[in-house]
Each structure stands twice: as C-alpha cells, then as structure tokens.
Amino acid sequence: MATLRCPECNASHPLPADPAVTTMRCPYCGAAVIVPDVEARRRFLLEQQREDRLREQHRVAAEREARREAREAQADAEAGAERAAERRERRRGRWGARVVTLIAVLAAPTIIAVTVYDLPARLGFGASGADRLAQLTTQLRATGCTTIAPIRSRYATATVSTLVGVPAGCLRVLAAGAGDHRTLGLRLFDADGTLLGQSQDTIDPQLAHCTAAAATLRYEIVVGPAGKGRLSHTVLACPDTRAPTAPPAAAGKRR
C-alpha cells in the first residue's frame, strides 16, 4: 500500500483513495500534508511495484543459489565419502594381500614337503603293500588257491570299489596298504548290492566267501580317516576249508 510521510512528525499515512484529494491533515501532529497528484501517485505505485518485483526476483535467485550450493555440498560430501571408502578398500586389499602372502610363505614349506613326500606315490612309485600280498598269495597257492584277479596297485585317498567275476566255490579277497594307510577294511557285495561279508579294519585285511554258482561280485576297500597313499588288492579262488556238515543219523532197523 502506498504511504505518505508527514513533513513535521515523519509519521506514515496511507495515500487517500480519492484522487481529487490534494491535502490532508496529519492525525498525529495536525500538520497539513500535501498529497501528490494522481500521476505522481501512479509513478510512486509503479516504483513500489518494481521494487517489489526486484525483491521477489532477488529472493528467488537467493533460494536458487542456496539450493545449488546445497546440491554441490551434498555432491562433495558423497564424493568424499566414496573416496574415503575406496581408500579403506585399498587398505583392506593391501592388508588382505599381505596376509595371503604371509600365509603362502608360511605354508609353502609344508605344501612342498607334503607334495614331495606324496608325489612318488601319486606317480606310482614307492611301497604299495604289493610285496606283502605276493608273500601271502605264494603261501595260499601252496594250499591249493589259484589267482582270479592278479595283484593291482593304485593311489587312493577314499574307498576303492572293484568288480570281479568268480566261479562257483570259495574265494578270498586280500588287500594291503602303504604310506598313510594305517588301517583298511574290506566289504563284499553281490550284484544286487547285498552285503555278503566284511572284515575288521587292519593293515592287511582278508575276506573269505563261498558261492554256489559263478557270479559277478563287487568288493570295496575302505580307507581309514585321513588315509592316503598306494594300496594293493587281489582275489584268489581257494578250496573250501569249512568244516563238513555231519550226515543225519541213520534210522534204526525194523525188527
């Protein structure tokens, strides 16, 4: 609203709405106040409107600038956080690489020692228990046994499963180990997977079984915990050494 100041007391008064009014009296000091003409009032109002528009433009520009500065500050803060995170990741990566390198350096002698110790067995060299099986089979042949499956050797860290065709009669499965094979076990299955027999864990297990007809059987060599190294196995056909069954008693003669 356009105002007019009293020249005596400097009090502000709103301009009268009537354009015909040329003077007015100050209600505070009673001094006569000359009211500008209509054209002067119009120019005054236009000037005030222009000033209001400029103030609004300055306010809008200030708000826009404040928002821009806030966005830039937020972007700078996010970029700083990302750089800090990258630095932390790089530090963690460097420490991780150092730890892995240290572990590799400390573990390398052990790995090399184990590899060098175990490599000949993996390549098929060194003890496998075959010599002990050869002695056993020589002794068993003297009792009438014949070889069904010759001595075979292999490197093993887990259960070994083998199929064998056997004739009617009795057979004997032999196994022996070397290296870390402290104990071995034997299990024999028929074609349907039925367990026919098993032996207790020992370093040189043996398993005997008799069958009424020729068949294909499967035997397993069970490796002990943490066992590794070479082992050997063979199958022999041997005479039936089971005790004969006594015939039934003859019936008494009739009188």
Q: Provide DSSP, 122-176.
A: HTT-S--SHHHHHHHHHHHHTTT-EEEEEEEEEEESS-EEEEEEE-SEEEEEEEE
- Residue 221's pLDDT band (boundaries 50, 70, 90)? very high
Beginning with the edge strand found earlier in the chain, give each strand of the sheet holding 206-211 in spatial order.
146-156, 229-238, 169-177, 206-211
Q: Which residue has the higher pLDDT, 91 or 111?
A: 91
What pLDDT, on the 0 to 100 scale, is given for residue 110?
58
What pLDDT, on the 0 to 100 scale, is given for residue 109?
62
What pLDDT, on the 0 to 100 scale, is given for residue 134?
94
Average pLDDT over residues 210-227: 91
pTM over 0.75: no
Q: Cα(100)–Cα(102) distance, rounded to whole angstroms?
A: 5
- Residue 125's pLDDT band (boundaries 50, 70, 90)? low
Is 74 a residue whose pLDDT tops 70? yes
Q: Cα(148)–Cα(203) distance, rounded to whole angstroms?
A: 22
Is 253 a residue whose pLDDT tops 50? no
pLDDT digits (tens, 9 = 90+) for 147-202: 999 999 999 989 999 999 999 999 999 999 888 888 899 999 999 999 999 997 78
Compute CA distances 245 → 159, 193, 196, 241, 242, whole Å. Answer: 37, 29, 21, 12, 9
The domains found in the chain, sorted by start residue, are: 3-64 (no CATH), 130-238 (2.60.120.380)
What pLDDT, on the 0 to 100 scale, is given for residue 245?
55
Q: Cα(204)–Cα(190) distance, rounded to whole angstroms?
A: 23
At residue 190, what are phi and psi to the nearest 5 degrees?
Answer: -85, -175
